[in-house]
Structure 1
């Protein structure tokens, strides 16, 4: 596809397009917002394409980048029941049909062309990466271990998922056929394999080896969890007793978990997403508050004793960096893998949503078991002393310098 002439900004630099295509919550948008703010401070203009414009508005990202709608899609009736690898994830995120993928791919190419972007930087946006490859634009990708898989051929199976290599190769062959038919519709070169989607892409894993969803199966550029330090400061009051911070989402087992927190012998602060506070306000009591606003997560973790969450990577990593053990309730594969990783080095417990009778005992163990607290403190000590506010600026500056070379 032919490139349009680049549109220059006031400093004479074409813009960089930032993109988030998949996922929910702040985990993908907050890093892109921080990058946009940093690039703006050095005179580089940015555009941000996202499938979550409401979240972008909540985070105030329009202050640093123009907000554009990201081309998105859905899996068709062929969606697999159990994702076995990154190839299955792509299949279930709209890479199941050549026509569907070609339409989204063409839209991403048009977005890159009309914005006159000089480069692309993504956080969980595989179709945008494919478009950059079509247009031969330089690209970079941030992510956790889940969204940036090990570049083995075939992609490795998710841990604990029984999948023979033959099945993994067959899955990839099916998805690769879809990709190359879509590329042919755009008269673009085919991919030799799915791993080449990341060929030449600057990768940054905003995680730690212990929290890599795939386990210790690769050497990678683990840049660590950036510090965004925003939100409501937490005031626990003057009473000093065990303090539980809970970051919960609507889903199976929510009311049972809130009931268990209500009965727990602790002060509890619940940040609840995706559900009006009024519908669960009857679980509040003296010492248990439910908030529907963002909490300053780093400060809250440093002042609590333990964390209860639904498997958000950023929240779990923040808890462990503060030396606080975790009780993790999982609803999807990504959350389950992270929960099992934390449990594997003894810093957390896994809570199955369909076992409400286990919630109360698990909360009590979270508060009382010294081995959980010791393992979390060991994790925190391992990464203490790092300037997390410099993680993203240093990483993105290194990439921009390569663009200018």
Structure 2
């Protein structure tokens, strides 16, 4: 029996936990001991319910960075916002991660959006994997490129900023007797392998040369998919619309427009009806508070609306469905742009209700985007989530 530690530090939602659930099922069945170190232990308890795993909370920055960069250009700037600007705070987080690894004594580490965990693990002689979408695993180059074309930054400024960050990190690593780094990307390139739960054409870093692409499976469409309810489509006329959204400024106007158009619409999300929104909608729009069988939804809907959610988007692309993205976070904005460049989606600002409705109207009438989504589905017609899950499990087992 081997001790496997899965760690999650940054980001939010079940998208960091759900995809590892079926991996954990296989590892536990094989007799391994799995420990989960999670940013959100309440979500982790739900995601791994019924499995014999040990839970620990991950050390994360709780307060907002001062100064805070509201428009980070590179991955390094994201790290600055997450505690890497203050050497005392960074040292404390690395120290706690090292304590956790001493307690759990891992034979293998699997880290999802966990840069500080990766730094703490430097020098630990066990297989180490990164796990997650491309966004969580920047390409190893110096200086780091801008993550988004709409946030350009002078190369000399990127060199200066990243060099300062590297010096700050290395001071701490040297004090711990750990191997230092020459580049921020080296944190990710020095592991056993980068297990990318995405498809190459959807990678946040489209110029990546290395990495093992496993495809994607959503948090709700793994082995428990058969337990999810089928799609209860409401009555209505026109294309069936599936919306997976979080509350945002333009949500009411969007749903009122869908209601007025009479389109049969399913809306899934937490906290969507806090203001009694459903009372203002016609029967063709149905708000649902629980997850649905995405495979069934993908087969029966005509298009989807979401916030740039990677896993859900992949499910619908595999079903050949085009979509509208209303991104709420930087990562979602980058991913949405990738799908727009691929021709399978349109995007809009959450603060611009007219733009959202215009883009949705264009998408409903667009055969081009529908065809591009169907082309994606055809290219990946042989993909099965179970195959990606098995490959990932086998990769970890082989390393052990």
Which one of 180, 185, 197 corresponds to residue 195 of structure 1? 185
Q: Are the aligned partners of 2:193 and 2:211 in contact in 1 as well (CA < 8 Å)?
A: no
Corresponding residue for residue 20 of structure 2:
32
Equivalent-residue separation in structure 2 for 1:135 and 1:150 (angstroms): 22
How much does 1:297 deviate?
1.9
Equivalent-residue separation in structure 2 for 1:110 and 1:23 (angstroms): 22
Equivalent-residue separation in structure 2 for 1:151 and 1:248 (angstroms): 33
How much does 1:263 deviate?
2.4
Q: State the superposition RMSD in angstroms.
A: 2.0
Establish whether residue 346 from structure 1 lines up as the match of residue 336 from structure 2.
no
Which one of 125, 128, 137 corresponds to residue 117 of structure 2? 128
Secondary structure at 2:362's aligned position in 1? helix
Distance 1:276 1:126, change over 3 A: farther
Which one of 252, 256, 276 corresponds to residue 253 of structure 2? 256
User: Higher mean Cα deviation, 113-122 or 233-242?
Assistant: 233-242
How much does 1:243 deviate?
0.6
Corresponding residue for residue 401 of structure 1:
398
Unaligned runs of 5+ in 1: 1-12
Distance 1:204 1:106, change over 3 A: same
Equivalent-residue separation in structure 1 for 2:40 and 2:57 (angstroms): 8
Equivalent-residue separation in structure 1 for 2:235 and 2:287 (angstroms): 18
Q: Are the aligned partners of 1:242 and 1:265 in contact in 2 as well (CA < 8 Å)?
A: no
How much does 1:185 deviate?
4.0
Establish whether residue 306 from structure 1 lines up as the match of residue 303 from structure 2.
yes
Q: Are the aligned partners of 2:131 and 2:194 in contact in 1 as well (CA < 8 Å)?
A: yes
Distance 1:146 1:264, change over 3 A: farther
Establish whether residue 176 from structure 1 lines up as the match of residue 166 from structure 2.
yes
Which one of 369, 373, 376 corresponds to residue 372 of structure 1? 369
How much does 1:79 deviate?
2.2
Equivalent-residue separation in structure 1 for 2:295 and 2:175 (angstroms): 47
Distance 1:132 1:35, change over 3 A: same
Secondary structure at 2:195's aligned position in 1? strand
Q: Are the aligned partners of 1:264 and 1:363 in contact in 2 as well (CA < 8 Å)?
A: no
Q: String of CA shifts for 1:190-214, please: whole Å, max 9, x gaps.
A: 2232222120331111111221122
Q: String of CA shifts for 1:214-252, please: whole Å, max 9, x gaps.
A: 224534322111363434331225767411000101233
User: Higher mean Cα deviation, 228-237 or 171-180?
Assistant: 228-237
Establish whether residue 84 from structure 1 lines up as the match of residue 81 from structure 2.
no
Which one of 380, 383, 392 corresponds to residue 383 of structure 1? 380
Unaligned runs of 5+ in 2: none
How much does 1:136 deviate?
3.5
Equivalent-residue separation in structure 2 for 1:195 and 1:339 (angstroms): 23
Equivalent-residue separation in structure 2 for 1:341 and 1:264 (angstroms): 29
TM-score, reference length from structure 1: 0.90
Distance 1:47 1:276, change over 3 A: farther
User: Higher mean Cα deviation, 57-66 or 204-213?
Assistant: 57-66
Corresponding residue for residue 186 of structure 1:
176
Q: Superposition pairs for residues 140-151 of structure 1, below 5 Å? A: 140-151=129-140
Corresponding residue for residue 203 of structure 2:
212
The number of residues matched between the two structures is 391
Equivalent-residue separation in structure 2 for 1:336 and 1:260 (angstroms): 24
Equivalent-residue separation in structure 2 for 1:225 and 1:300 (angstroms): 17
Which one of 90, 94, 113 corresponds to residue 105 of structure 1? 94
TM-score, reference length from structure 2: 0.91
